[in-house]
Amino acid sequence: MFYTRQQSYCIGSIGSVVWKKTLMDMELEQKQAEIIDELVRRASTCKGEALLPIIIEATSHPSLFAFSEILALPNVAQAIQQLPPCHTFLFVFGNASRIPQLSPDQILKLKQLTVLTLAESNKVLPYDTLMAELDVTNVRELEDFLINDCMYAGIVRGKLDQLKRCFEVEHIRESSRFNSRQD
Protein backbone atom coordinates (compact mmCIF):
# COMPACT_ATOMS: atom_id res chain seq x y z
CA MET A 1 0.00 0.00 0.00
CA PHE A 2 1.31 3.45 -0.92
CA TYR A 3 0.62 6.57 1.13
CA THR A 4 0.74 10.14 -0.06
CA ARG A 5 2.31 12.85 2.06
CA GLN A 6 -1.21 14.11 2.75
CA GLN A 7 -2.39 10.71 4.01
CA SER A 8 -3.84 11.11 7.50
CA TYR A 9 -3.01 8.83 10.41
CA CYS A 10 -5.18 8.52 13.50
CA ILE A 11 -3.01 9.33 16.51
CA GLY A 12 -5.60 9.32 19.26
CA SER A 13 -9.19 9.92 20.17
CA ILE A 14 -11.40 10.90 23.06
CA GLY A 15 -15.09 10.31 22.54
CA SER A 16 -16.00 11.45 19.07
CA VAL A 17 -12.94 13.71 18.65
CA VAL A 18 -10.18 12.15 16.56
CA TRP A 19 -6.73 13.70 16.14
CA LYS A 20 -5.04 13.14 12.84
CA LYS A 21 -1.60 13.93 11.53
CA THR A 22 -0.40 13.83 7.98
CA LEU A 23 2.90 12.34 6.98
CA MET A 24 3.96 15.87 6.07
CA ASP A 25 3.21 17.01 9.66
CA MET A 26 5.31 14.16 11.03
CA GLU A 27 8.20 14.97 8.68
CA LEU A 28 8.07 18.64 9.73
CA GLU A 29 8.10 17.69 13.42
CA GLN A 30 11.09 15.38 12.83
CA LYS A 31 13.00 18.11 11.01
CA GLN A 32 12.22 20.61 13.79
CA ALA A 33 13.43 18.12 16.41
CA GLU A 34 16.70 17.68 14.50
CA ILE A 35 17.21 21.45 14.31
CA ILE A 36 16.48 21.89 18.02
CA ASP A 37 18.83 19.00 18.91
CA GLU A 38 21.64 20.64 16.91
CA LEU A 39 21.01 24.04 18.53
CA VAL A 40 20.92 22.45 22.00
CA ARG A 41 24.17 20.62 21.29
CA ARG A 42 25.89 23.85 20.20
CA ALA A 43 24.38 25.98 22.98
CA SER A 44 25.38 23.54 25.71
CA THR A 45 29.06 24.27 25.03
CA CYS A 46 28.76 28.09 25.10
CA LYS A 47 28.45 30.78 27.74
CA GLY A 48 27.62 34.47 27.83
CA GLU A 49 27.92 36.37 24.57
CA ALA A 50 28.93 33.21 22.70
CA LEU A 51 25.28 32.11 23.06
CA LEU A 52 23.98 35.14 21.17
CA PRO A 53 24.44 33.76 17.62
CA ILE A 54 22.71 30.51 18.63
CA ILE A 55 19.79 32.36 20.25
CA ILE A 56 19.50 34.59 17.18
CA GLU A 57 19.53 31.51 14.92
CA ALA A 58 16.83 29.80 17.01
CA THR A 59 14.57 32.84 17.19
CA SER A 60 15.06 33.62 13.50
CA HIS A 61 14.47 30.11 12.19
CA PRO A 62 11.22 30.14 10.16
CA SER A 63 9.89 26.82 11.41
CA LEU A 64 10.81 26.94 15.11
CA PHE A 65 8.20 28.19 17.57
CA ALA A 66 9.03 26.15 20.68
CA PHE A 67 12.22 26.79 22.61
CA SER A 68 11.82 24.77 25.82
CA GLU A 69 14.75 22.42 25.09
CA ILE A 70 17.12 25.36 24.60
CA LEU A 71 15.74 27.21 27.62
CA ALA A 72 16.27 24.12 29.77
CA LEU A 73 20.04 24.57 29.47
CA PRO A 74 21.33 26.32 32.62
CA ASN A 75 23.75 28.54 30.67
CA VAL A 76 20.96 29.73 28.33
CA ALA A 77 18.53 30.32 31.20
CA GLN A 78 21.16 32.43 32.97
CA ALA A 79 21.82 34.51 29.84
CA ILE A 80 18.09 35.01 29.19
CA GLN A 81 17.51 36.21 32.77
CA GLN A 82 19.61 39.26 31.93
CA LEU A 83 17.11 40.37 29.26
CA PRO A 84 13.77 42.03 29.97
CA PRO A 85 10.72 39.78 29.41
CA CYS A 86 9.36 39.90 25.85
CA HIS A 87 5.74 38.82 25.61
CA THR A 88 4.38 40.44 22.46
CA PHE A 89 5.44 42.45 19.44
CA LEU A 90 3.85 45.61 20.86
CA PHE A 91 5.72 45.16 24.16
CA VAL A 92 9.07 44.83 22.40
CA PHE A 93 8.66 48.00 20.39
CA GLY A 94 7.49 49.89 23.45
CA ASN A 95 10.75 48.87 25.16
CA ALA A 96 13.13 49.02 22.18
CA SER A 97 15.90 50.74 24.12
CA ARG A 98 16.11 47.82 26.60
CA ILE A 99 16.09 45.01 24.01
CA PRO A 100 18.78 44.15 21.43
CA GLN A 101 17.96 45.22 17.86
CA LEU A 102 15.93 42.57 16.04
CA SER A 103 16.49 41.29 12.51
CA PRO A 104 13.57 41.23 10.03
CA ASP A 105 13.26 37.45 10.58
CA GLN A 106 13.05 38.00 14.34
CA ILE A 107 10.42 40.73 13.91
CA LEU A 108 8.34 38.34 11.78
CA LYS A 109 8.80 35.56 14.37
CA LEU A 110 7.78 37.92 17.19
CA LYS A 111 4.62 38.90 15.31
CA GLN A 112 3.84 35.21 14.71
CA LEU A 113 4.40 34.41 18.38
CA THR A 114 2.15 37.34 19.31
CA VAL A 115 -0.67 35.80 17.28
CA LEU A 116 0.05 32.43 18.90
CA THR A 117 0.01 33.98 22.38
CA LEU A 118 -3.28 35.76 21.74
CA ALA A 119 -4.81 32.62 20.19
CA GLU A 120 -3.89 30.54 23.24
CA SER A 121 -6.23 32.57 25.42
CA ASN A 122 -8.90 33.71 22.93
CA LYS A 123 -10.61 31.73 20.21
CA VAL A 124 -11.99 34.88 18.59
CA LEU A 125 -9.44 37.60 17.88
CA PRO A 126 -10.92 40.96 16.82
CA TYR A 127 -9.14 42.59 13.90
CA ASP A 128 -8.76 45.83 15.88
CA THR A 129 -6.90 43.99 18.64
CA LEU A 130 -4.65 42.17 16.17
CA MET A 131 -3.94 45.35 14.21
CA ALA A 132 -2.96 47.21 17.39
CA GLU A 133 -0.82 44.35 18.77
CA LEU A 134 0.96 43.76 15.45
CA ASP A 135 1.30 47.42 14.46
CA VAL A 136 -0.61 46.77 11.22
CA THR A 137 -2.43 49.67 9.61
CA ASN A 138 -5.11 48.03 7.46
CA VAL A 139 -7.27 44.93 7.24
CA ARG A 140 -5.73 43.73 3.97
CA GLU A 141 -2.23 43.73 5.49
CA LEU A 142 -3.55 41.92 8.58
CA GLU A 143 -5.35 39.23 6.58
CA ASP A 144 -2.33 38.72 4.31
CA PHE A 145 -0.15 38.28 7.40
CA LEU A 146 -2.57 35.85 9.04
CA ILE A 147 -2.88 33.75 5.88
CA ASN A 148 0.69 33.83 4.55
CA ASP A 149 2.74 34.06 7.72
CA CYS A 150 0.57 32.32 10.31
CA MET A 151 -1.80 29.82 8.70
CA TYR A 152 0.54 28.66 5.91
CA ALA A 153 3.33 28.39 8.51
CA GLY A 154 1.12 26.08 10.58
CA ILE A 155 1.06 28.35 13.63
CA VAL A 156 -2.73 28.65 13.70
CA ARG A 157 -5.70 27.48 11.69
CA GLY A 158 -8.92 29.38 11.57
CA LYS A 159 -11.38 31.47 9.62
CA LEU A 160 -11.19 35.11 8.70
CA ASP A 161 -14.58 36.75 9.19
CA GLN A 162 -14.61 40.05 7.32
CA LEU A 163 -18.17 40.88 8.35
CA LYS A 164 -17.49 40.47 12.07
CA ARG A 165 -13.91 41.77 11.61
CA CYS A 166 -12.34 38.90 13.52
CA PHE A 167 -10.15 35.83 13.20
CA GLU A 168 -11.85 32.69 14.55
CA VAL A 169 -9.15 30.32 15.83
CA GLU A 170 -9.78 26.63 15.22
CA HIS A 171 -6.35 25.20 16.08
CA ILE A 172 -3.09 26.50 17.54
CA ARG A 173 0.36 25.03 17.34
CA GLU A 174 1.85 23.83 20.61
CA SER A 175 4.24 26.50 21.85
CA SER A 176 6.75 27.26 24.49
CA ARG A 177 7.41 30.82 25.57
CA PHE A 178 10.93 31.95 24.78
CA ASN A 179 10.88 33.99 27.96
CA SER A 180 8.18 32.96 30.40
CA ARG A 181 9.12 35.23 33.32
CA GLN A 182 6.34 37.36 34.72
CA ASP A 183 6.50 41.18 34.70
> Is this model's pTM higher than 0.85 or not?
no
CA distance 18 to 61: 31
The CATH number assigned to the domain with range 86-183 reads 1.10.10.10
Q: What is the average pLDDT value for the chain, to the nearest integer?
A: 76
19: Cα within 13 Å, side-chain hemisphere: 6
To 5 degrees, how large is the angle CA 38–CA 41–CA 42?
A: 90
What band does 93 get if pLDDT is binned at 50, 70 and 90?
low
Q: What is the pLDDT of residues 106-138, one digit of tens each?
A: 888 889 988 988 998 899 999 999 999 998 999
pLDDT at 58: 84
pLDDT digits (tens, 9 = 90+) for 147-177: 999 998 888 999 999 999 999 999 887 654 4
pLDDT band at 7, cuts 50/70/90? Answer: very low
SS3 for 66? strand
Return the half-sphere exposure (C-beta side, CA atoms, 13 A cut-off) of residue 122: 13
- Residues 6+ positions from 18 with CB-CB distance below 8 Å: 10, 12
Domain boundaries, the chain: 1-82, 86-183
H or E element: which one contains 74?
helix 74-81
Considering 9-13, 101-105, 118-122, 139-143, the range whose residues carry the highest mean pLDDT is 139-143
